């Protein structure tokens, strides 16, 4: 392929960048006790929640930003960020899709997510978060029938305080890390799911997050609890409008699986990665952790990460219950000036625990990405098994791909295997496809998709389609 | 006094060299200043995440200036190998125990002190030539105490007929001793040589050996480098090995670790020009409370450079093993191939292995892979051997030996391979009872 | 030598052997034949001491001892040696170690001392020559990278060195070309003696042309349905197995 053509395609602007003009009720920038009280009040939270936030804030003040990752970004001024923004008139919040601001619906249209259609066709309940506030929730009745609670975390704090109190912060403690502490102090919205004992959630649960208002951080908090023998599949997808200033995102996701429970958590992340100089992209610092608290429980993370300027994310599993299973399937694609430091931690505590890690990294342009993983086998974790496959594909000679797998093993009856490869797309593979009449662009897509197949097949169907599309958009023209 | 200051105080106590060249003095001062500034590494330092050296920092070590050692005892300890031999006792060169007879042609094998005394300017070029060699705390400490070591120069096109054997003996003393040897190897272009660094301690010795080795492998030179570490289980062994490779050179390292209370090896190879090949083989076997840490790095600084690595660890009792291997491919170092493998065997539930094979890659047309496995022995093989009448323990012992054998098979010095194999067999739990079996092979 | 009485065995709850009776006297060579799925490999596995097979009923006595109570290694030491159909590869373990360790384990069990190294090497070299195997074989890892024929030769070599009282040969002819078959059978035949017995399990009559059995048993559906002399094998070869299902149980 001609290099000019390639350059042109690499420089292709973000197709999903636009700004929706909705006035926001935004807290003034800055972080102190008053900001937190403001958020808590806006959310109509009880006193115990405010106290919990303030304690987190106290911890955060004593912590410093981690510097061990393979990431390079200018210092973040946490006092310059606005920690709350909501649509102007909360009391007028739309109760159904018909009442939703047409502009918002238009936004979804541009993103290729016809909300009501999608919801109706796919049978997916959508809890759309727009500027930190839940605007619409569907299929609540059907879920209620099954006894499944699916609502915003704010609503859960008000309506189900006993569940929130019991589980919030028990997987990711407030002081777990700098970003988790920040989130605990200022989280504004997110989802809450509770699936009662023996219930298989009748539909896949989905939340689309958007970041919109300028200079606004988003701090979602998600808590999913699967009681004994319960099952749920949760989908999270993101895409964001173009912005000039970097936007901070520091979410916390906590999953709890009790005996024989199964939680599948899938993410497609396509936030604005910044312009060709890396300006204006989202900073994504996420703490995601699942706790296989019960015996024979299973937590499976699947992620497709194509967006953000900076990604710092390690969805992890604590395999506490005997015979519990943890899985991590990941595709990370970086282009332009994107930087990603992502991976997982599998902590084997119980006996006969098993974990599988499949990570596929594709770096193009001037991007840099790292897989960082930890497999830890504690002395009690007899017959623990881990298998890790970690492959990187480099496209172009200005990018970097790195692998940092930590393994800490202290049980002699366990088995830990790690394999990793780094290579480029084979010229012979490309040639072969081209000799069959396929153009280079399509050939690259085919090969890259093949490279990622092990992960894509873990995604729910409609996500898999979206993921493949995202991949080709991100990589367009990056081969020369 | 212990800690950083305690070590530096010893500097004043050491015997002054006669008319020390000023550049050596400057190096020494720089090393001391650097060490004072960085102090002993702690576990917040990623490079030392799994290795706690506070036991070294807390200890007080003296310096010695005599090399008294019984000849018969030495004979019993050293490798049975026909070689050009230099012997250092607690870091002090012993001409009496060394044997350099027959060395001729464009080759020099000298103690560093002698080389500095006779023509210090010639040494100046090599000593510390590599970047960052004296950057880390222990290397800086070594620089501060530079006094003795070995300097080996192999001229252009020389194919050395016998290996060069550098034997470092550590004695059991009333008070622990520290030594900071510096080993410099220059393998001239198109030369061929085998260097054996052998560290061995008397039972009960509790000394600190802090060695820095610098190896220069010039164009098309072939250098095989054995490092056999058999310190006593109360000793501290810290080694930094720096390798610089030119075009078409081939360097092969065997890093064999059996001894030490804390043993740490840092290997750093710089592949600076095309077609340089670096092979790292390693074996470590810890038992009791031994702590064995191997950090290896290969920097592919030029296109079409190649590296292979295979490290194997066996850990019993409460021993802890660390493996950290890095393959780094610099921007524009295209068509590089790098392979890395680390396999570990845990024989006890109280043993631990922490392994991290790293890839740091900035060029796209490369092929790199690494793999690690930690696990147990093949149960089908255990059964097959029991079906021949072997008890289970012996079957497991033999398989463990076979596990180590994968590295030893590449050793071209039969006496080294046999010595290590016996030592591994000897270190396996008594119930495996393998010692006699291994020796029977000679018959 | 070996007495099997009413042996029932199952794997994963499925009964495979349904009452086997078999007696082998010293000096005798027995062959067990049968169609696929008859239970031949299960019988071999039970005799070898492979865990995973559950004996639900019956007894096996070897030299007056309860074989089922004996661990795998104890069986080998007592003189019951198994020649496997699929010998496992053991990377890194040299053949010479295995042979020496196995021989010494056996001697120790008999209350004898370890074999002196020179004597051992002499013995092994002699057997190697007999099996037409090169001395370098001793330094190779057990079965690693061996062809099918080499693996089987190695099984027989071990028999020659270890001199079992009862040699069990499980499909020893599988995967052998005709030359290898000759060497292997020659090795087995050299084992024949008044106080040693051999039990062969085989699918094909062909092997029995090379190693002539005293007694042939036909195993079908977990039972011995007929026993006879070597002509029984020829008969099976000609007529197949079906006619036996209606015949009387031996």
- The pLDDT score that the predictor gives to residue A142 is 78
Mean pLDDT lowest among A11-20, B30-39, B218-227, B278-287: A11-20
**pLDDT at residue A244, as a whole number:** 42
- Supply the pLDDT for residue C3: 93
% of chain A at pLDDT higher than 90: 26
Of B139-148, B280-289, C188-197, where does the model show the most confidence? B280-289
> How high is the pLDDT of residue A116?
45
């106080």: which residue's tokens? C195
Closest C-alpha among C112, C110, C39, C42 to residue C74: C110
| Residue-level pLDDT at B431 | 56
| Region B332-352 average pLDDT | 91
pLDDT at A136 over 50: no
Q: What is the pLDDT of residue B155?
A: 95
Q: Residue A121: count other Cβ atoms within 10 Å of its Cβ.
A: 10
Tell me the C-alpha distance between A383 and A386, whole Å.
10
Nearest-Cα distance to chain A for B38, in Å, is 19
The hierarchical CATH code for the domain C2-245 is: 3.40.50.300
- Provide φ and ψ at A118, rounded to 5°: -55, -50
Per-residue pLDDT tens digits for A182-217 = 889 888 878 899 999 999 988 888 765 444 433 344
Q: Sorting pLDDT into bands at 50, 70 and 90, what band is A176? A: confident
- Of the candidates A181, A165, A173, the one whose C-alpha atom is nearest the C-alpha of residue A250 is A181
pLDDT tier at A291, thresholds 50, 70, 90 = very high
Mean pLDDT of B383-389: 89
Exposure class string for A337-363: b at 16+ Cβ within 10 A, else e: bbbbbbbbbbbbbbbbbbbbbbbbbbb
Q: pLDDT category, B324, cuts 50, 70, 90?
A: very high
Q: Mind listing the pLDDT tens digit for each residue in C71-92? A: 888 888 888 888 888 888 887 7
Choose among A91, A81, A78, A77: nearest CA to A27: A81
**Which of B84-88, B166-170, C2-6, C113-117 bottoms out in mean pLDDT, i.e. has the lowest?**
C113-117
Between residues B245 and A278, the one the model is more confident about: B245
Per CB-CB distance under 8 Å, the chain B contacts of C141 are 402
Distance of alpha carbon B223 from alpha carbon A98, whole angstroms? 78
Is B374 within 8 Å of A409 when comparing Cβ atoms?
A: yes
Percent of chain C at pLDDT > 90 equals 21
**Cross-chain residue pair A408–B366, CB shorter than 8 Å:** no
Task: Examine the pLDDT at A120 and tell me if it is beyond 60.
Answer: no
Dihedral-angle region of residue B2 (phi above 0 means left; psi in -120 to 50 means alpha; beta otherwise)? beta
What is the Cα–Cα distance from A278 to A366, expressed in whole angstroms? 10
Measure the CA dihedral A463/A171/A154/A161, to 10°. 130
* Partners of residue B263 on adjacent β-strands: B237, B292
Size of interface B-C (CB pairs under 8 A): 102
CB contact under 8 A, B366 and A404: no
ipTM metric = 0.82
Q: Tokens in use for B347?
A: 């024989």
- Supply the pLDDT for residue A131: 39
Task: Using CA coordinates, name the residue in chain A closest to B347.
Answer: A412
Q: Which residues of B touch A421 (CB under 8 A)?
A: 367-369
Furthest CA-CA distance within chain A: 69
Mean pLDDT value across residues B158-174: 94
C153: tokens are: 């030769």
Question: Residue C180, Cβ neighbours under 10 Å: how many?
Answer: 18
The tokens describing A271, both together, are 């936030």
Q: What is the DSSP string of C66-130?
A: EGGGS-HHHHHHHTEEEE-SSPPPEEEEEHHHHHHHHHHHHHHHTT--PPPHHHHHHHHHHHHHH
Select the more confidently predicted residue: A437 or A190. A190
Between the alpha carbon of residue A140 and those of residues A119, A205, A230, A327, C85, the distances in Å are: 12, 11, 18, 29, 63
Q: Does B330 touch chain A (CB under 8 A)?
A: no
Comparing CB atoms, the residue among B347, B361, B372 nearest residue A412 is B347
Interface test with C, best of B387, B410, B432, B438 (most C CBs within 10 A): B387
pLDDT at A35: 84
Query: Across residues B334-349, what is the average pLDDT?
Result: 91
pLDDT at position B368 is 87
Residue of B nearest to C89 (CA): B381
Helix, strand or coil for residue A355? strand
Cα dist. C207→A340, B109, B292, C193, C202 in Å? 65, 67, 55, 19, 8
Check pLDDT > 80 for residue C246. no
Which residue of chain B is at minimal alpha-carbon distance from A385? B375
User: Averaged over B33-62, what is the pLDDT?
Assistant: 91
Beta-carbon count within 10 A of A464 CB = 18
> In the structure encoding, which two tokens stand for residue A417, read together?
């295997």
In this predicted model, what pLDDT tens digit does every residue of B92-136 receive, in sequence order? 999 999 999 999 889 999 999 898 888 877 777 667 665 566 678
Give me the pLDDT at residue A154, please. Answer: 84
Q: Which of B388, B410, B425 to mutate to test the interface with C (most CBs of C within 10 A)?
A: B388
Most confident of A150-164, A304-318, B308-322: B308-322
Residue A332 has pLDDT above 50, yes or no: yes
CB-CB under 8 Å, B441 with C73: no
CA distance B431 to C9: 34
State the Cα–Cα distance between residues B396 and C12, nearest whole angstrom: 28
pLDDT band per the 50, 70, 90 thresholds, residue A92: very low
Q: Domain map of chain C by residue range?
A: 2-245
Please say whether the beta carbons of A331 and A471 come within 8 A. yes
Cβ of B369 under 8 Å from any chain A Cβ? Answer: yes
Question: Residue B432: its pLDDT value, please?
Answer: 63
A near B: at least 3 beta-carbon pairs less than 8 Å apart: yes
Whether A110 has a pLDDT exceeding 60, the answer reads: no
Q: Per-residue pLDDT for A476 more than 70?
A: no
Which residue in chain C is spatially nearest to B378 when comparing CA positions? C90
Q: What is the mean pLDDT of residues A431-447?
A: 71
Torsion region of C57: left, alpha or beta (phi above 0 gives left; psi -120 to 50 gives alpha): beta
Q: Which residue of A has its CA nearest to B332?
A: A397
- Residue A44 CB coordination number (10 Å): 12
Q: What is the mean pLDDT of residues B3-16?
A: 77
Q: Which residues of B touch C (CB under 8 A)?
A: 378, 380-381, 383-392, 394, 398-399, 401-403, 405-406, 409, 436-438, 440-443
Spatial CA neighbour of A261 closest among A223, A315, A225? A225
**Under an 8 A CB cutoff, do C87 and B380 touch?**
no
The CA distance from C115 to the nearest CA of chain B, in Å, is 10
Inter-chain residue contact A403 with B359, CB threshold 8 Å: yes
Q: Is the pLDDT of residue C235 over 90?
A: no
Give Rg (Cα) of chain A.
22
Q: Which residue has 């039969």 as its token pair?
A: B414
In what helix (H) or strand (E) does residue C243 lie, and over which residues does it extend?
helix C242-246
Judging by DSSP bridges, how do beta strands C80-83 and C90-94 pair with one another? unpaired
Domains of chain B: which residue ranges? 3-273, 378-443
Nearest CA in chain A to B373: A417
Report d(CA B180, CA B176) in Å as an integer.
14
For residues B164 and B131, is the Cβ–Cβ distance under 8 A? no
State residue A25's pLDDT score: 62
The minimum CA-CA distance between B261 and chain A, rounded to whole Å, is: 19
Chains that touch B (3 or more CB pairs under 8 A): A, C
Confirm if C187 and C160 have CB atoms less than 8 A apart.
yes
Confidence bin at C181 (pLDDT 50/70/90): confident
Q: Do chains A and C touch (3 or more CB pairs under 8 A)?
A: no
Interface test with B, best of C97, C104, C166 (most B CBs within 10 A): C97
CA distance B145 to chain A (A): 33
Token pair for C199: 């039990």
Kindly tell me if the per-residue pLDDT of C65 is higher than 70.
yes
Q: What does the radius of gyration of chain C's CA atoms come to, in whole angstroms?
A: 18
pLDDT at B198: 96
Based on the number of CB atoms within 10 Å of its own CB, is C177 exposed (0-12), middle (13-18) or buried (19 or more)?
exposed
Phi and psi (nearest 5°) for A154? Answer: -65, -45
B314 min Cα distance to partner chain C (Å): 15
Global confidence as pTM: 0.80
**Which residues does chain B have within 8 Å of residue A407's beta carbon, measured at their own beta carbons?**
353-356, 372, 374
Q: What CA–CA distance (Å, rounded) separates A380 from A348? A: 9
> Does B11 score more than 60 pLDDT?
yes
Q: Which of A471, A364, A467 is nearest to A424 (CA)?
A: A364
DSSP state of A456: H
Residue length of chain B? 443
Cα dihedral C192/C197/C199/C205 (nearest 10): 40
What is the DSSP-derived secondary structure letter of residue C211?
S
Mean pLDDT of chain A: 77
> What's the rounded mean pLDDT across residues A51-75?
86
Query: What Å distances lie between residue A291 and A169, A188, A225, A288, A325, CA to CA?
Result: 11, 23, 10, 10, 10
Contacts of A392 in chain B (CB under 8 A): 359, 361
CA diameter of chain C = 58
What's the average model confidence in pLDDT over C129-144? 86
How much is the mean pLDDT over chain B?
89
Per-residue three-class SS string for chain B = CCHHHHHHHHHHHCCCCCCCCHHHHHHHHHHHHHHHHHCCCCCCCHHHCCCCCHHHHHCCCECCCCCCCCHHHHHHHCCCCCCEEEEEECCEEEEEEEECCCCCCCEEEEEHHHHHHHHHHHHHHHCCCCCCCCCCHHHHHHHHCCCCEEEEEECCCCECCCCEEEEEEECCCCCCEEECCEEEEEECCCCEEEEEEEEEECCCCCCEEEEEEEEEECCCCEEEEEEEEECCCCCEEEEEEEEEECCCCEEEEEEEECCCCEEEEEEEEEECCCCCEEEEEEEEEECCCCEEEEEEEEEECCCCCEEEEEEEEEECCCCEEEEEEEEEECCCCCCCEEEEEEEEEECCCCCEEEEEEEEEECCCCCEEEEEEEEECCCHHHHHHHHCCCCCHHHHHHHHHHHHHHHHHCCCCCHHHHHHHHHHHHHHCCHHHCCHHHHHHCCC
**Residue B300 CB-density burial (10 A; 0-12 exposed, 13-18 middle, 19+ buried):** buried
> Does residue B206 carry a pLDDT above 70?
yes
* HSE-up (13 A, CA, CB side) for residue A19: 9
When mean pLDDT is compared across A94-108, A192-206, B2-16, the lowest value belongs to A94-108
Sign (positive/negative) of CA torsion A43, A48, A49, A54?
A: positive
User: Across-strand partners of B223?
Assistant: B193, B251
Report which of residues A336 and C18 the model is more confident about: C18
pLDDT of residue A214: 39
3-state secondary structure A250-274: CCEEEEEECCCCEEEEEEEEECCCC
CB C28 within 8 A of CB C197: yes
pLDDT (mean) for B147-167: 94
Nearest-Cα distance to chain B for C88, in Å, is: 6
């Amino acid at each position: 392929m001609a290099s000019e053509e390639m350059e042109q395609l690499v420089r292709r602007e973000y197709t999903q960048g636009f700004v929706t003009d909705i006035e926001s009720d935004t807290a003034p920038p800055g972080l102190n006790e008053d900001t937190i009280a403001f958020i808590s009040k806006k959310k109509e939270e009880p006193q115990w929640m405010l106290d919990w936030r303030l304690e987190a804030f106290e911890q955060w003040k004593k912590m410093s930003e981690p510097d061990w990752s393979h990431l390079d970004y200018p210092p973040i001024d946490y006092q310059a960020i606005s920690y709350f923004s909501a649509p102007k008139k909360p009391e007028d919040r739309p109760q159904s899709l018909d009442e939703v601001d047409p502009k918002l619906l238009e936004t979804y249209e541009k993103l290729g997510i016809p909300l009501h259609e999608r919801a109706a066709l796919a049978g997916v309940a959508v809890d759309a978060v727009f500027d930190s506030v839940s605007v619409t929730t569907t299929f609540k009745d059907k879920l209620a029938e099954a006894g499944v609670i699916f609502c915003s975390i704010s609503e859960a704090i008000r309506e189900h305080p006993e569940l929130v109190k019991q589980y919030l912060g028990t997987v990711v403690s407030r002081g777990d890390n700098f970003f988790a502490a920040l989130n605990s102090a200022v989280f504004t919205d997110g989802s809450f799911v509770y699936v009662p004992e023996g219930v298989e959630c009748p539909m896949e649960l989905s939340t689309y997050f958007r970041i919109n208002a300028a200079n606004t951080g988003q701090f979602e908090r998600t808590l999913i609890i699967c009681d004994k023998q319960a099952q749920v599949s949760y989908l999270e997808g993101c895409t964001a409008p173009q912005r000039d200033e970097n936007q901070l995102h520091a979410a916390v996701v906590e999953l709890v699986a009790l005996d024989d429970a199964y939680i599948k958590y899938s993410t497609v992340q396509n936030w604005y990665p910044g312009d060709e100089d890396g300006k204006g992209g989202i900073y994504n610092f996420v703490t995601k952790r699942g706790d296989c608290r019960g015996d024979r429980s299973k937590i499976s993370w699947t992620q497709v990460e194509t967006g953000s300027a900076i990604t710092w994310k390690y969805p992890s599993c604590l395999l506490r219950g005997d015979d519990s299973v943890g899985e991590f399937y990941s595709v990370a694609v970086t282009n332009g000036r994107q930087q990603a430091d992502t991976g997982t931690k599998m902590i084997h505590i119980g006996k006969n625990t098993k974990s599988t890690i499949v990570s596929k990294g594709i770096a193009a342009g001037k991007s840099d990405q790292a897989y960082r993983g930890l497999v830890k086998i504690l002395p009690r974790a007899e017959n623990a098994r881990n298998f890790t496959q970690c492959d990187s594909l480099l496209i172009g000679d200005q990018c970097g791909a790195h692998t940092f797998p930590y393994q800490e093993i202290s049980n002699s009856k366990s088995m830990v295997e790690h394999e990793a490869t780094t290579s480029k797309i084979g010229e012979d593979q490309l040639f072969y496809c081209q000799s069959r009449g396929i153009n280079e662009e399509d050939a690259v897509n085919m090969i890259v998709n093949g490279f990622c197949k092990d992960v894509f097949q873990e995604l729910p169907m409609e996500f898999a389609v979206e993921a493949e599309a995202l991949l080709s958009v991100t990589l367009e023209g990056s081969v020369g | 006094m212990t800690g950083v200051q305690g070590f530096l105080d010893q500097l004043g106590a050491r015997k002054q060299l006669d008319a020390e060249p000023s550049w050596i003095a400057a190096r020494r001062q720089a090393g001391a200043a650097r060490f004072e500034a960085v102090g002993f590494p702690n576990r917040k330092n990623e490079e030392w995440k799994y290795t706690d050296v506070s036991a070294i920092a807390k200890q007080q070590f003296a310096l010695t200036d005599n090399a008294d050692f019984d000849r018969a005892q030495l004979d019993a300890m050293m490798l049975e190998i026909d070689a050009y031999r230099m012997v250092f006792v607690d870091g002090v060169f012993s001409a009496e125990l060394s044997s350099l007879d027959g060395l001729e042609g464009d080759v020099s094998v000298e103690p560093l002190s002698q080389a500095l005394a006779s023509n210090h300017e010639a040494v100046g070029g090599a000593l510390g030539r590599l970047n960052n060699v004296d950057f880390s705390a222990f290397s800086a400490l070594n620089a501060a105490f530079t006094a003795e070591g070995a300097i080996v120069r192999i001229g252009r096109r020389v194919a050395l007929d016998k290996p060069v054997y550098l034997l470092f003996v550590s004695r059991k003393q009333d008070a622990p001793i520290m030594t900071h040897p510096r080993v410099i190897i220059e393998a001239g272009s198109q030369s061929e040589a085998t260097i054996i660094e052998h560290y061995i301690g008397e039972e009960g010795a509790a000394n600190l050996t802090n060695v820095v080795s610098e190896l220069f492998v010039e164009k098309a030179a072939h250098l095989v480098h054995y490092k056999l570490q058999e310190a006593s289980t109360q000793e501290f062994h810290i080694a930094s090995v720096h390798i610089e490779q030119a075009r078409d050179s081939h360097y092969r390292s065997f890093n064999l670790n059996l001894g030490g209370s804390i043993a740490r090896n840092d290997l750093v190879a710089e592949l600076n020009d095309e077609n340089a090949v670096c092979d790292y083989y390693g074996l470590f076997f810890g038992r009791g409370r031994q702590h064995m840490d191997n950090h290896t790095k290969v920097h592919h600084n030029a296109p079409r450079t190649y590296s292979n690595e295979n490290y194997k660890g066996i850990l019993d009792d409460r021993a802890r093993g660390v493996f950290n291997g890095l393959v780094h491919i610099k921007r524009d170092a295209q068509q590089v191939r790098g392979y890395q493998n680390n396999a570990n065997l845990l024989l006890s539930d109280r043993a631990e292995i922490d392994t991290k094979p790293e890839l740091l890659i900035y060029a796209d047309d490369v092929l790199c892979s690494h793999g690690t496995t930690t696990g147990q022995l093949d149960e089908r093989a255990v059964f097959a051997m029991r079906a021949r009448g072997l008890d289970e323990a012996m079957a497991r012992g033999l398989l463990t030996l076979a596990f180590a054998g994968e590295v030893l098979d590449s050793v071209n010095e039969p006496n080294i391979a046999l010595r290590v194999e016996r030592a591994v067999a000897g270190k396996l739990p008594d119930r495996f009872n393998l010692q006699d079996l291994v020796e029977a092979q000679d018959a | 030598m070996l007495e099997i009485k009413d042996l029932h065995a199952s794997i994963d709850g499925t009964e495979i052997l349904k009452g086997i009776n078999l007696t082998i006297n010293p000096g005798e060579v027995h062959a067990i034949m049968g169609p696929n799925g008859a239970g031949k490999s299960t019988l071999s596995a039970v005799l070898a001491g492979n865990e995973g097979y559950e004996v639900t009923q019956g007894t096996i006595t070897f030299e007056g001892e309860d074989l089922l109570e004996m661990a795998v290694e104890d069986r080998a030491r007592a003189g019951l040696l198994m020649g496997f159909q699929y010998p496992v590869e053991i990377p890194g373990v040299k053949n010479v170690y295995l042979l020496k360790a196995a021989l010494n384990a056996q001697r120790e069990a008999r209350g004898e001392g370890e074999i002196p190294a020179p004597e051992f090497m002499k013995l092994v070299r002699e057997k190697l020559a007999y099996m037409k195997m090169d001395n370098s074989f001793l330094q190779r890892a057990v079965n690693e990278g061996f062809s099918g024929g080499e693996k089987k030769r190695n099984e027989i070599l071990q028999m020659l060195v270890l001199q079992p009282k009862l040699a069990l040969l499980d499909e020893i002819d599988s995967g052998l070309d005709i030359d290898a078959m000759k060497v292997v059978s020659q090795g087995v035949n050299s084992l024949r003696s008044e106080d040693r017995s051999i039990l062969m399990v085989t699918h094909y009559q062909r092997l029995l042309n090379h190693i002539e059995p005293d007694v042939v048993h036909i195993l079908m559906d977990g039972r011995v349905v007929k026993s006879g002399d070597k002509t029984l094998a020829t008969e099976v070869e000609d007529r197949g197995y079906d006619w036996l299902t209606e015949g009387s149980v031996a």
